[in-house]
Amino acid sequence: MPHPYTPLPPLALEELRRAVGVGRFLTDPLARHLYSYDGALDREPAAAVALPETTDEVASLVGICARHRVPFVPRGAGTSLSGGPIPAPGSLLISLTRMNRVLAIHPADLCAVVQPGLVNLDLQKRLEPLGLFYAPDPSSQLVSTLGGNLGHNAGGAHCLKYGVTANHLLAAEVVTPEGEVMPIGGLGADLPGYNLLGLYAGSEGTLGIVTEMTVRLTPLPEATSTALVIFDSLADASAAVADIIARGLVPAALEMMDHPLLEAVERTFEAGYPLDAAAVLLIDVDGPPAALAPQMAAIRAICADHQAREFHQADDPGERARLWRGRKGTAAAIANLAPGKISTDVSVPRDQLPEMLARMTSLAESYGLVIGNILHAGDGNLHPQIIFDPRDADEMRRVFAAQGEVIEAALSLGGSMTGEHGVGTEKRKYMPLMFSAEELALMGRVKQAFDPAGLCNPGKLLPDELGEPGPELPLPVGSFTHAAETVAVRDAAGRLTPYDYEAMAKLLALATREGQPVQLTSRPTERGPRQACEGREAISTLGLHSVLGVDAANATVTAQAGVRVAELQAALAEVGQWWPVLPPGGKEATLGSVLASGRSGPLALLYGRLADRVTGVRLALPTGEIVRFGVSCVKNVAGYALERLLVGSQGTLAAILEVVLRTVAIPPSVCTQAWYVPTETQAQELGRRLLLQPVRPAGLEVLNPAGAKALGLALGESGWLLVAAWHGLAEEVEAGAGAGQAAATALNLETVATPASTWDTVAALPSADDDAVALELSCPPSRCLDVLAAAQEVMRGRGAAVLAASPGLGNVRVGLPRSEGDSLGPVLDLLLTLTRTRGGSIRPLPPGHGLPLDSAPAPLVALTRRLKAAWDPVGILPSLTDLHY
Amino acid sequence: MPDDLTTTELLRCNKCGYCQSTCPTYAVTLNEAQVARGRNALAAALAEGDMESLEALRGPFFDCLLCGACTEACFSSVRTDEVMVRAREAFHAQHGQPFVQRFIFRRLLGHPERLAALLRLAGTGKRTGLARLFRRLGLLRWINATLEGAEGLVETVPRRFLRDRLKRIGFRRHRTGRGYELVLSRAPEAPLGPRVAYFLGCGTNFQEPDSGEAAIRLLARAGCEVVALPNVCCGLPPYSYGDMAAARELARTNLDLLRSTDAEYIVTDCGSCSRFLKGYVDLLSEEPEVAETAGRVRDWTEILAEHPLPPPVRPWEGIVTYHDPCHLGRGQGITEAPRKLLTQAAGATLVELPEADWCCGGAGSYNLSHPEMSLAILRRKLNNIARTGAKTVATACPACLIQLSYGLRQEESPVQVRHVAEIVAHAQGLDSLGD
């Protein structure tokens, strides 16, 4: 019998058909069946299928759905492994495969603008002749679409070094669940507003439909070297992985296969794996040719320390492909073993891999199943492959039970229930294993803020049952002031200072109960948002001052929000680790304030934006619940990435109690160089050359004479100081700095010696004190020096105005002296105009100065308000819309 | 429909969707109904009774090119082409097979002399006979093509078919214990090579006789003694349309003939024929000696790879690129031999064609039955050809030759299309004897 399905209301049907035309609106039984599946096991027929070709068509389809209360679901190539695009009953399925164009490639800004239906590999093919690539490379890249990659925050074999999709998203155009077109993000660094883009990554098409995306591009590495290492013991192989990471080596890929898989591969391909081997590691290192051999030598030594049986290395493409052949063929090899398989997907902290693998072995035995493991070992992400015959009901029962136990095992080791495949329909029942009822309820409220009618891809990601909520906190009675003082002490400055998480939660709950406005603060010298100070009780996070755990083998650290950056770095240094962020607020800033500020600092060029260096947060909500999002794993796509939303939230959503940060090994070599550059044209040229070099600088800053003065350097009246740093292995740094000096020499530029504290000083420019107004201008990187020069022109005659720019990041900071006596209004207007005409935006530092600022599009403002209300229903914390818009 | 093959193949489809990367019909439609995963899903729904046998299934089932590209991309190597053939058979059983199709498969293809007479009749006059024939026979309704389209597809019908040229090529009647044989002796200067039986494919015989002539003379030059077989159609056209009975009947007629020849190899210059003949082992698995007989089938390029030709006397001029016919390259894994013939025996400068193994959309008579889809698929091929800067496109299958010539003619491109055999024959100094 044909599957039953819920038809669309006739009126909606007609309108939808008109929106795309008869040929691209399918309602026949074939189409309903054809769009009922993805690469996983669940099925549900769509009520109708639309194949739009433009954003406008998507917006009208969604608008019609919203009016007629028809659920809808976006779908790319349908290759997902979790049921993400399976329609809910009665849904319109919106297939985006025909929106597959590359709209623009901007090599100077290292970005491309694409439609969501574009196949990942098709973008790579377009980029290769330009010497560029798009880093996320999921195994499905030859068919999966970039929109689908965004929805699942896809990783890939090379995300160990290059990061996952979220790390490479710059901007997007979204059709909201109400059918409005909303642009988010932008090319500049650290844009104002909530980090919505970070939230869309991994949201599985439940927050709207992305119809256009701007992605970051990366220069192709100069050379790559591959090693295939054979081990006699699984424990040795996984210990070698942890050691490689802990020693600070950053392979481009670090993959592992265990014995059952090796055997399957060998039977199918004769890839040259010994049948008695317990595990094989495949390792890619890339970079400047000179840096490959030392990395490989170090990796080889580590593998030898862990009793590796054989170590094969290849440098030329043909030989490398031969070594990778077996790994690439694993899916085919498994397909040969049985008619069906599921590829589960969990991640654990890297140092827990040996334990996790041991549990997989006993799980396979106790369920009588064949389980082979493919691991993105460097990321702690493993895909236990369970094979079965779908006709064997008993076997299927055992498969599903085993899948649940795989997830439970990963969670018990501090991992995630899904590293990169997503939750979809398949795993949402497991969500309560990973998240508390309060956490799930908050995710539900966030979803509702985006999609009040609940029509956008319903039935995904979040479970139907949230589980039991925890006991409510007992709150003292009485007015806020009275009750609060029974929970926390006041410090010398009169700020309420809780010393544990529960006290913080109680303070916020009290504030919500009593309607008392509060403000989170962390240091005496910090100026809070100006208008926020009046009538607000200050709550200090300085009572939460412990570093909880440094995990070098996993390259993460867990610390409380009141820990100062300097303290954190000291604790990390003891084990040779480092958190590669130079906070603009200075080393004395607390981790909570750094995260809340959302400012990445100059080293984001090499190490990624601030949100990319945070993997988890623990929070106290304004309503008094203590919740946790994110884990100590770099790969985690379970639920909404609320940890990314907190970065840059300016203390408007919740109190950060604790953070989990991604660290790196202290780079063995660091080199800073600076040049005096007389003209803007020369600065442009040198900046361009340095940024397009194969070895990118870790930081690149351009300062005006007033900025250089902060370094104790006198440049004279005009000209610029260009400062660059390189971090890495000695060979990499030598290659980068050497090429940098050669570029400067070619332009006849004069080298300037800079003090040791240069980068801390530069990161903190302009210092925000009461005598100056500090502004941050964001713009496309290629326009950065243009903005800088135009700003300098505006400031002419205001000699003391400090200007600093990060041309690789698209950020210009301006420090305006207030002492001049004249009104700042005209200057601000000029700055605003010059920034906007160059595609940028502007915000005061810290926010809340009451200065004229950019206005955001209406749907964005409305969404921002709803998001805020989802977290802070009474509004006890300051509001971002007050601060920014 | 559910037979063993369909059941096992469909069970192994994991719905991963990787076939989207190689399916030519998906690439131009971006519709799940036009990709192996979708086709298999529909076939499975039909087999499991989840869907009625709707007329709407005609598109998904009959639009498949049977190029086999999906199987290559598939981790489980699901043979969607075979599933589609069976789905078509079932579809005909439900909805009936068009009369004209049935007539051609059952009344004409088994009788080359009837087909030849009809084509000859139609080929007189302006020599645009195929289309006229189709028009006269009312075939156009079946093939759903415009008259202009069909007329444009083949420029002319040759004055003389290959079978009529055998004597001029040098074949002589020999009397043997089994009756008369047409034999072409090996070239006098050539080394001693094997005795091969030449299977005249319909496409070569009726549309591309020059390439057949070239292939035969090259076999002789390489030292082969060539026997011309009085064969009928190999059976692939009815098989493709799901007319299994007609296909098996043609195959059985040929198998009797092939079994009786004492030639060491059975050779053809049509990639589709050679693949289908090799497949008799499955199609007629119940027949005696079928494995041994099918095991003697070779594509002509395989013979020449083992019995090399002398160096060229006038190396082919201008850049050449090579298009892999689906049934030769993917179907039989023969990709090196034709390229080697071009570079060594013809001394040509070969530039590799991007996506050389992507179907050209010819696919037997697909270009007649699906003119629009076929043309959309062809465009990708033409763009790739343009990127090589080649003056000549070489290939080794008559259907591809017809399709590529048609596309380049439409574009008024100066690029010419030749069978590998013609290029090599020219370079070897063997000028066409003309018709």
Q: What is the pLDDT of residues B351-378, one digit of tens each?
A: 999 999 999 999 888 888 888 999 999 9
pLDDT at residue A332, as a whole number = 81
- Of B46 and A207, the structure prediction assigns the larger pLDDT to A207
Give A119's contacts in chain B (Cβ within 8 Å).
Answer: 20-21
Q: Quote the pLDDT of residue A193.
A: 87
**pTM for the full model?**
0.93
CB-nearest partner of A79 from B17, B30, B77? B17
Q: Which of B14, B16, B32 sits opposite A34 (nearest CB)?
A: B32
Residues of chain A with pLDDT under 50: 1-2, 525-532, 852, 884-885
Distance CA A582, CA A382 (A): 33
Q: What residues contact A297, with CB distance under 8 A and at least 6 apart?
A: none
Helical H segments across B35-79, by residue range: 36-47, 58-62, 69-73
CA separation for the pair A823, A857 (Å, rounded):
29
The residues, ordered by sequence, that sit 6+ positions from A179 with a Cβ below 8 Å of its Cβ are A59, A60, A62, A63, A64, A65, A66
Q: Is B14 within 8 Å of A335 when comparing Cβ atoms?
A: yes
As a whole number, mean pLDDT of residues B312-321 equals 96
Give the whole-angstrom CA distance, residue B163 versus residue B232: 12
CA separation for the pair A207, A279 (Å, rounded): 41
Contact B50 A95 (CB under 8 A): no
Strands (E), A389-506: 489-490, 496-497
Which residues of A sit within 8 Å Cβ distance of B?
1-3, 28-31, 33-35, 37-39, 51, 77-79, 95, 97-98, 100, 117, 119, 121, 140, 142-143, 331-332, 334-336, 339-341, 390-391
Chain A contact for B376 (CB, 8 A cutoff): no
Under the banding of pLDDT at 50, 70 and 90, the label for residue B149 is low
A457 membership: H or E segment, kind and range: none
pLDDT in tens, A342-370: 889 999 998 899 899 999 999 999 999 98
Could you give the CA distance from residue A726 to residue A383 in angstroms, rounded to a whole number? Answer: 36
Number of H helices, E strands in chain A: 31, 38
Q: Is the distance from CB of A423 to CB of A447 less than 8 angstroms?
A: no
Average pLDDT over residues B251-267: 94
CA distance, residue A335 to nearest chain B CA (Å): 5
Q: 10 Å Cβ neighbour count for B48?
A: 12
CA-based radius of gyration for chain B: 21
Of the pLDDT bands very low, low, confident and very high (cuts 50, 70, 90), residue B53 is: confident
Q: Tell me whether the omega of the peptide bond preceding residue A274 falls within 30 degrees of 0, making it cis.
A: no
> What's the whole-number mean pLDDT along residues B145-161?
64
Q: Is B237 on the interface with A (CB under 8 A)?
A: no
Phi, psi of A248 (to 5 degrees): 85, 10
Rounded Cα distance, A880 and A643, in Å: 17
Report CA torsion sign: A305, A308, A310, A316.
negative
pLDDT at A480: 94
CB of A561 closer than 8 Å to CB of A655:
yes
Which residue, among B198, B114, B203, has the nearest Cα to B157 in the 3D structure?
A: B203
Query: Best residue in A24, A30, A36 to probe B by mutation, most B CBs within 10 Å?
Result: A30
Angstrom distance (rounded) from CA A601 to CA B182? 86
Q: Name the residue in chain B with its Cα closest to that of A337.
A: B76
B156 touches chain A (CB under 8 A): no
Give Cα A525 distance to the centre of its chain: 31
Cis check for the bond before A697: say yes or no (omega within 30 of 0). no
